[in-house]
């Protein structure tokens, strides 16, 4: 039990750092796209999303070698048919492709990418220590909760997302690891990210 609690914090820390990288990449790619379109190229913003999609396709083909799983259905499939095993490539694939797509103005969000990334971190951490399916599923859920918490600064929403949407049959004893992981992810994101990353509010 103590090992799982400690592991949930480590998973939350790792996913929090991954979320920080994702948000930073999106933010700075967006600033770059705004910079290059601020001159006399007034029609360039219309094609920036297409440029982002093209770069994403090239990244999937030449960097990821086609090893790219899209959508949350892969997590459900891994839970049901693959003993909660998720490929290592998913730990960074979504960060790369989503940064390019969203940063250049594509109509996509960060929820699915960080959920896939967090699940991959939790799953591969579990494989490192040869944990059983139940423990692996719990740490996969911890990764999901930490990802949502870190990207949206919403640890409670991260826990509820993991419990109600993906891991609906998890036991009540899993609340403590999930809360620890979500709180760690949100804390890491809050400490290291500037307030002006993605959204800035001034009163």
Q: In the predicted model, what is the mean pLDDT of residues 168-178?
A: 76
Q: CA angle, 108 as apex, 29 and 120 as ends, to 5°? A: 85
pLDDT value of residue 12? 95
pLDDT value of residue 13? 96
Give the percent of the chain with pLDDT over 70: 89
pLDDT value of residue 194? 65
Residue 52 has pLDDT above 80, yes or no: yes
pLDDT value of residue 180? 94
pLDDT, tens only, 54-100: 999 999 888 888 777 766 777 877 777 777 788 888 899 989 999 99
Exposed/middle/buried for residue 7 (C-beta within 10 Å: 0-12, 13-18, 19+):
buried
pLDDT value of residue 85? 85
Mean pLDDT of the chain: 84
pLDDT value of residue 66? 77
Residue 46 has pLDDT above 90, yes or no: no
Q: Report in angstroms the alpha-carbon separations of 78 from 10, 17, 65, 123.
A: 22, 24, 21, 10
Residue 192 has pLDDT above 90, yes or no: no
Asked if residue 72 lies in contact with residue 120, where contact means CB atoms within 8 angstroms, the answer is no
Name the pLDDT band for 198 (thresholds 50, 70, 90).
low
Tokens at 169, concatenated: 């049959």
pLDDT value of residue 167? 62
Higher pLDDT, 193 or 147: 147
Higher pLDDT, 46 or 116: 116
Give the percent of the chain with pLDDT over 90: 33
For residue 170, what is the DSSP state?
-
Asked if residue 27 lies in contact with residue 198, where contact means CB atoms within 8 angstroms, the answer is yes
Q: In the predicted model, what is the mean pLDDT of residues 129-146?
A: 89
């Amino acid at each position: 039990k103590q090992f799982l609690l400690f592991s949930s914090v480590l998973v939350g820390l790792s996913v929090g750092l991954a979320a920080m990288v994702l948000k930073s990449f999106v933010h700075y790619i967006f600033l770059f796209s705004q910079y290059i379109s601020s001159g006399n190229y007034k029609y360039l913003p219309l094609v920036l999303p297409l440029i982002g999609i093209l770069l994403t396709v090239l990244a999937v083909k030449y960097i990821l070698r086609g090893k790219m799983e899209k959508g949350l259905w892969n997590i459900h499939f891994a839970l049901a048919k693959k003993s909660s095993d998720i490929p290592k490539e998913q730990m960074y694939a979504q960060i790369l492709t989503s940064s390019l797509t969203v940063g250049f103005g594509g109509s996509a969000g960060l929820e699915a990418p960080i959920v896939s990334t967090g699940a991959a971190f939790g799953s591969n951490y579990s494989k490192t220590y040869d944990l059983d399916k139940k423990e692996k599923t719990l740490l996969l859920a911890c990764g999901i909760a930490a990802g949502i918490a870190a990207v949206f600064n919403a640890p409670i929403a991260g826990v509820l997302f993991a419990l109600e949407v993906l891991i609906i049959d998890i036991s009540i004893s899993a609340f403590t690891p999930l809360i620890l992981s979500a709180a760690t992810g949100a804390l890491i994101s809050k400490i290291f990210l500037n307030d002006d990353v993605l959204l800035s509010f001034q009163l």
